[in-house]
Structure 1
Amino acid sequence: MTKYKLSAIALALMTSVPALAASQAESNGFVEDSSLDLFLRNAYMNRDYGDGEQDKAEWGQGAVLTYNSGFTKGLVGFGVDAFGMYGYRLDSGRGRAGAGGIDFFMIDDDGDVERDMAHAGAAVKARFSKTVLAYGDQRPVLPVLSHDDSRLLPEAYTGTMITSNEIDGLTVHAGRFHAQHRKSDEGRDSGGLRQIEVLGGSYQFNDNFRTALYASDVEDVLKRQYVNLNYVLPMDQADTLTLDFSGYRTKQDKKWDNGEGARNNLWSLSANYAWDAHNVTLAYQRSSGDTGYSYGFYQNQGEVGDGGTTIWVANSFWSDFNAEDERSWQLGYGYDFTQYGIPGLSYNFAYIYGTDINMGNGERGGEREIFNQVKYVVQSGAAKDLSVRLRSSVLRTSNGYAADGNEVRIFVDFPIDIL
């Protein structure tokens, strides 16, 4: 797992709800603590498959306007969060768009790709002390319910979430959601989710050691538990060694799993050593049990409903290396060009090799991926914080496990603080 991904996961665990760490006693008011942000994304994805599989490509422009109010003053503060999203299709790759591929836009009843898409949502919230209760449309970022923001527009969920920080270093989440808005569809309940319940938290013991424990229950689909241990060991001359363990245990519901009730265990252990502008990652990942790891949209059974990025393990790139009985190893490298006078420019590389995939016919399959990403973030001026990210993956498989493919992603993101 690369250093930037470890940092993103740690931040997400501690800050999944706006202003959640603040105390109600510190409230300046509904308007005074409010914010209004516009996020623009121009996204292009292309997947060039082998073995005769249909290639996929889409290009679109998205915009997400987000308003987060402050809390009214008093013992209990009240507020409102709202968002509006719009996506416009620039190109559908000459028939290579639609669900099952890139999934920027849905295909309508006539077989045509939708020209655009719009969706809006809001949530009311209340805060007592350092505990926030929110009900409505939300975008949770948890290891057992993580909304997908890897395409043009993000997913959203409708339901209730409690986030508490009453104990220093401890963040607790409890929630129940009854509707899922797909990233490529306008419908509030387009994900087919019946209900998902989540419970868990993370605890920062000190500056170096953090742990997390979460569980979820997707009604009539599956039950899942997650554990994470993360330790940062300071070295000489500001070097650091980061050790991370992440693991899932899943039991699928018999109603959803054709009466099988299959189980899966998926875990990863990674070590990241960072010095000067460099960081190197070594990781091992293991999937075991009766089936592979299911999340987001699972092709055989249909929707899972826990979000398209709910797989917080080390070897999750284009492939997640999460097939039945799969073992995978990763060698990763990252470089920050700041010391060469180009602050904001970074490069990340990873080679992941997977073996022992149970093909169900007595054969064992394998896969390997070469991942490259170059990212530049503008540091100052009118375009400050605008980022350009170029990502490519080369995926090759063996023994007919899946189709080979080459993937290219170009994302231009521009967050703008309006208020």
Structure 2
Amino acid sequence: MSKHCVSVTVAGGIAGIALCTTAYADFLSDSKANLGFRNLYYNNDNRDGTAAPSKTEEWAQGFMLDYKSGFTDGTIGVGLDALGLMGVRLDSGKGRHVGSSMIPSDSDDRAVDEWSRLGLTGKVRLSKTELRYGTLLPKLPILVYSDGRVLPQTFEGAQVTSHEFENVTFVAGQIEHATGRGSTDATGLAVSGGTMESNKFDFAGGDWKITKNLTAQYYYAKLEDYYRQHFVGVLHTFPIAEGQAIKTDLRYFKTDADGANDAGQVGYRTSGFTRNGDGRIDNDTWSAAFTYTFGAHALLGGYQSVSDDSNFVQMSQGGLPDKGAGGNSLYLYTDRLIQSFNRAGERTAFTQYSYDFAALGAPGLKASVMYLKGTDIKTTSGDDQKEWERDFSLDYVIQSGTMQGLGFAWRNGVSRSEASRDQDQNRFTVSYSIPLL
């Protein structure tokens, strides 16, 4: 090769490196990474009934490495996110692990020593629209990932989020698999009671901020062979005076059977009461909640009504064979520490009082107590059943000093139900996050 050719090649290589450096500058400089720690003691004590377990009691340490890249420069930006999750068992005996939804089980039904998984998400940005494909943590009215244990539930699929129109957020996508809170294995999708997997959950919808204090919502979702769901919501804040306001939250769901569930096929039926005993999903659920805030105080009151042809449902892994797949979250005010108050026919009144102790010179300290009472429940064993739950929460986050950001949380719940077992539950959590980038 001549010296001229070498010069051209070297120059081309340097230009390529320079171009690459320019293109990826934002990818690297805008990257963020955090290492989160969550230590959770979980105790759920069944107070009646003969079925095992009588008590689930476990203690585990979770590690969450969350990396979010920036986007490459240019009209179309490209990026990559990574979520590394690892759990370590600190304490769990075989007799106290049965029924766990926090720690995976080995072949002998004992809690494993440790478990981990890695989720990658590719992303593309064009103007004010972003496409994400890979591991997702959706928080939408028609799908909410569950984060009530030491590691979160994750989903796999694609999601588009657009802000092209002022004051409008549009979301659409498709979910294909999920990994439970206490599992390392991805499964298909189902509803509570369903034992056959669906691999297609389509959704679309958005939020329209009509005014500064008024937002309207509409979402549509379809879990193939299980259900179709429409959601309409209204959020409004009415300022009364300095430090005082009333927040209104109205929600309505209409859920109908789809495909195999509509045909009553075995494996695609939902659990609980259904009108004809065929496991067919047919439900209307609405709720109204009002929160009055005044200074450090917040007082909430609300009511929820579930129609009586079937339970209210959203996507779940609970009926699938993977033992760690159990547990999902519902976009309901009544989805609480123990119960969800979503059974067929159930009418639930609820109230909550919250207080921020910053007003007394203790910033970072907050407490709340909530009470819910459900009536008119229909189950396969009878009608007009009742249940109630009382939840107490106490949170404290250190505000300054070497351990700034270290958080402590206690959750205590008591449930008494004619439709399920009576339960007492406690959760103690210590959490901390270290910024790496």
Class of the TM-score when normalised by the shorter of the 2 chains: 0.7 to 0.9
Q: Match for residue 330 of structure 2?
A: 311
**Paired residue for 2:135?**
137
Relative to structure 1, the CA distance from residue 343 to residue 122 in structure 2 (aligned partners, 3 Å threshold; closer, same or farther) is same
Give unmatched runs, 5+ long, in structure 1. Answer: 1-26
Residue equivalent to 2:9: none
Give the whole-Å Cα distance in 2 for the aligned partners of 1:363 and 1:201. 37
| Change in 2 beyond 3 A, CA 1:173/1:141 | same
Larger Rg over CA atoms: 2
Find the counterpart in structure 1 of residue 286 from structure 2.
267
| Contact in 2 for aligned 1:200/1:214 (Cα 8 Å) | yes
Superposed CA offset, 1:138-190 (max 9, x none): 22211212211111111112211111011121111111121212221112347
Post-superposition shift, 1:281? 0.7
2:165 & 2:40 partners in 1: Cα distance? 40
2:194 maps to 1:201: no
- Tell me the SS of whatever aligns to 2:359: helix
Q: Match of 1:410?
A: 428
Partners of 2:39 and 2:285 in 1: CA distance = 34
8 Å Cα contact 1:352-1:369 kept in structure 2: yes
The corresponding residue for 1:38 is 35
Looking at structure 2, the residues matched to 307 and 109 of structure 1 have their Cα atoms a distance apart, in angstroms, of: 18
**TM-score with structure 1 setting the length:** 0.87
**Conservation of the 8 A alpha-carbon contact between 1:164 and 1:172:** yes
One-letter amino acid of the counterpart of residue 47, structure 2: G
Quote how far apart the aligned CAs of 1:28 are.
6.7
The SS at the match of 2:331 is: coil
More divergent stretch after superposition (194-203 vs 80-89): 194-203
1:371 equivalent among 379, 391, 396 = 391
Q: What do the CA deviations read for 1:303-339 (whole angstroms, capped 9, x no partner)? A: 9xx9954422222212111111000111210000001
> Quick one: which amino acid aligns to residue 231 of structure 1?
H
User: How much has 1:368 moved relative to structure 2?
Assistant: 0.6
Cα deviation code 1:270-289 (max 9, x no counterpart): 11001011111111011113
Are the equivalent residues in 1 in contact too, given 2:44–2:423 (CA < 8 A)? yes
State whether structure 2 residue 26 is matched by structure 1 residue 29.
Answer: yes
What is the SS of the residue equivalent to 1:180?
strand
SS of alignment partner, residue 339 of structure 1: helix
Contact (CA 8 Å) 2:215, 2:236: kept in 1 or not? yes
> Which residue, 329, 340, 345 being the options, matches 1:320?
340
Measured in 2, the distance between the counterparts of 1:68 and 1:80 equals 7
Say which of 216, 224, 228 aligns to 2:221: 216
Instruction: Give yes or no for contact 1:280–1:331 (8 Å, CA) kept in 2.
Output: yes
Tell me by how many angstroms 1:300 deviates: 6.2
* Deviation at residue 134 of structure 1 after TM alignment: 1.3
- Of the three residues 179, 183, 191, the one matched with 2:177 is 179
User: Does the aligned pair in 1 maintain the 2:143–2:315 contact within 8 Å?
Assistant: no
Gap change, CA 1:379 and 1:209, over 3 Å in 2: same
Q: Is the 8 A contact 1:226 1:248 kept in 2?
A: yes
**Contact kept in structure 2, 1:56 and 1:93, CA below 8 Å:** no
The secondary structure found in structure 1 opposite 2:358 is helix
TM-score by length of 2: 0.84
2:364 to 309, 319, 344: 344
1:67 to 2:62 alignment: no
How far does residue 214 in structure 1 lie from its aligned partner after superposition? 1.0
| C-alpha distance in structure 2 between counterparts of 1:50 and 1:343, whole Å | 37
2:289 maps to 1:291 = no
Which residue number in structure 1 is paired with residue 256 of structure 2?
Answer: 251
* Code of the aligned partner of 2:166: D
Matches within 5 A, 1:7-18: none
Residues 1:105 and 2:125 are matched in the alignment:
no
CA distance in 1, matches of 2:63, 2:236: 37
Aligned match of 2:374 in 346, 350, 354?
A: 354
1:152 aligns with 2:172: no
CA drift at 1:94? 4.8
Give distance in 2, aligned partners of 1:93 and 1:364.
Answer: 38
- How far off its partner does 1:131 sit? 0.3
Q: How does 1:374-385 map to 2 (within 5 A)?
A: 374-385=394-405
Letter in 1 for 2:298: N
Q: Which letter maps to 1:29?
A: D
Is 311-320 or 231-240 further displaced after alignment?
A: 311-320
Listed as ranges, the matches of 1:113-128 within 5 Å are 113-128=111-126
Residues 101-138 of structure 1: CA deviation (Å, up to 9, x unaligned): 44111222222222211100111111010000111122
Between the aligned residues of both structures, percent identity stands at 30
CA distance in 1, matches of 2:363, 2:313: 39
Change (3 A) 1:361 1:112: closer
The reply to whether residue 332 of structure 1 matches residue 352 of structure 2 is yes
Deviation sequence 1:51-93 (CA, Å, 0-9, x none): 2342112210001101110001111111101111100111115
Q: Match for residue 12 of structure 1? A: none
SS in 1 for 2:41: strand
Distance in 2, Cα, partners of 1:263 & 1:381: 54
Aligned equivalents of 1:415, 1:108: Cα separation in 2: 30
Higher helix share: 2
Pick closer, same or farther for the CA change 1:308–1:104 going to 2, 3 Å: closer
Segments of structure 2 that go 5 or more residues without pairing to the other structure are: 1-23, 190-196, 271-277
Residues 176-215 of structure 1 show CA distances to partners (whole Å, capped at 9, x for unaligned) of: 1212122211123476551211111112122211121111
Q: Residues 44-63 of structure 1: matches in 2 within 5 Å?
A: 44-52=41-49, 53=51, 54=53, 55-63=55-63
State whether residues 291 and 323 of structure 1, in contact with CA within 8 Å, keep that contact through their aligned partners in structure 2: yes
Q: Provide the rounded CA distance (Å) in 2 between the counterparts of 1:363 and 1:36.
A: 52
SS at match of 2:242: helix
